[in-house]
Amino acid sequence: MSRRPVRRLILVAAGVLLVAVVVAAFLLATRPEPRTAVVERGSLEATVETVGRLVPRNPITVRSTVSGRVQLVAVSPGDVVEEGDVIAQLDPEPFEEAIRRAEDQVAAAEAALNLAEQRAGDNPSPEQLSARLTAEQQLREAQRALDDARAALDASMILAPRAGTVLQVQTAEGAPLGTGAEVAQIADLNDLELQVDLDEIDLPHVPLDAPVTFTLDAYPSEDIEGRLERISPTAETSGGTTTFRATVRFTLPEGLVARPGMNADVSIKTAVRPDVLLIPESALRTVGRRTFVTVLVDGEEQEREIRIGLRSGGMVEVASGLTEGERVVIP
């Protein structure tokens, strides 16, 4: 074989190699830089988001302590009442009739006692003494019955036990009313609390006295601060969801007017990690129970195992494995 074909073959191979090198260099030079995030120091808060509504803190249910028929309803929802104001009045005639009968019984018992005392004289026989003692007992019972009848008449006038605003009226004129029946509900509208329902999944992470921030639909730009005051020990289930009723104590900012039934968007702060290392949660890669990130070091990508802590709002706390200022690759 002549040297010329061999030389041409070598030149062709060298040219192909040169083209490959140039193409590779071009591809490396034009490859986009990986998207990265800097490991930064900051604070991380975990929150539970829910909704709630305002309710009176200590509403009072006014009940009737006697039975009868309602003659008068003196209030309507929204009325402001003072302690002792009339809420409703039962028909007094049956109570007045009971008093008249009781007075007759007292008069008869007094007459019987006077007769027994006259017969007994100063030296009564055992039978006369027993008759006098019996008459005295009957008079006491008749007097108690009269006292009870008078108290029942007083109770037929149903009064407000304290000052407040009438929220509900639960009877009507002409309606029968039993002992213990609800007549009205009264509350102090200046003493409200926020009720929220906590999902059973969130409950283990929500401590008592947790800071709470909420906005009312009526004041969407006003952040109102409060504290989680109590959590019901019993669950409520609706539509396959189990929740626990919780109560938030708060103070309204000056100038805001709130009413029972107002709706709120609620954020409960469950944990705070101040001054910790943070990276985006999207940088994590999990293998079993182990967590890895890709770190960019001098332009080279390195796999590194890390230990993480709190997660919230797309960020994650780095407990170990990274230092402030390093860059992690975001896939």
Structural domain contains residue 20: no
Confidence of residue 13 (pLDDT cuts 50, 70, 90): low
174, HSE (Cβ side, Cα atoms, 13 Å): 0
H-run or E-run covering 284: none
Same domain, 130 and 238: no
Same-domain check for residues 283 and 307: yes
Query: Which pLDDT score is estimated for 272?
Result: 87
In the three-class reduction of DSSP (H, G, I as helix; E, B as strand; rest coil), residue 64 is classed as coil
Residue 16 has pLDDT above 90, yes or no: no
| pLDDT at residue 34 greater than cutoff 90 | no
pLDDT digits (tens, 9 = 90+) for 228-264: 999 999 999 988 899 999 999 999 998 899 999 999 9
Residue 218 DSSP one-character state:
T
Q: Pick from 142, 117, 137, 141: which is nearest to 129 by CA?
A: 117
List CB contacts of 122: < 8 A, sequence separation 6 or more.
none
Please check whether residues 86 and 178 belong to one and the same domain. yes
**Residue 138 above 50 pLDDT?**
yes
CA–CA separation, 315 and 281 (whole Å)? 5
Q: How far apart are CA 327 and CA 107, in angstroms?
A: 101
Give the per-residue pLDDT at 324. Answer: 96
- Here the CATH number for the domain that contains residue 181 is 2.40.50.100
Q: Do 112 and 221 sit in the same domain of this protein?
A: no
Percent of the chain with pLDDT over 70: 90
CATH code, domain carrying 255: 2.40.30.170
pLDDT band at 8 (very low <50, low <70, confident <90, very high): low
Contact criterion met (CB below 8 Å) for 67 and 179: yes
pTM metric for this prediction: 0.64
Average pLDDT over residues 6-35: 56
Q: Is residue 8 one of the residues assigned to a domain?
A: no
Looking at the DSSP bridge assignments, the partners of residue 5 are none
How high does pLDDT run on average in the chain? 90
Residue 315 belongs to a domain with what CATH number? Answer: 2.40.420.20
pLDDT tens for 73-89 read: 999 999 999 999 999 99
User: Could you tell me if 74 and 174 lie in one domain?
Assistant: yes
Residue-level pLDDT at 283? 96
Number of domains making up the chain: 4
Phi and psi, residue 26, nearest 5°: -65, -45
Task: For residue 186, give the nearest of 257, 279, 82, 289 by alpha carbon.
Answer: 82
Sign, CA dihedral 252-258-261-262, equals negative
> Residue 15 above 60 pLDDT?
no
Q: Is residue 11 part of a domain?
A: no
Q: Which domain holds residue 314?
A: 36-44+274-329
In a shared domain, residues 194 and 263: yes
The residue length of the chain stands at 331
- Does residue 177 surpass a pLDDT of 80? yes
Stretch 49-73: mean pLDDT, rounded?
96
Residue 207 lies in a domain: yes
pLDDT digits (tens, 9 = 90+) for 179-198: 999 999 999 998 999 999 99
Q: At 239, which amino acid appears?
A: G
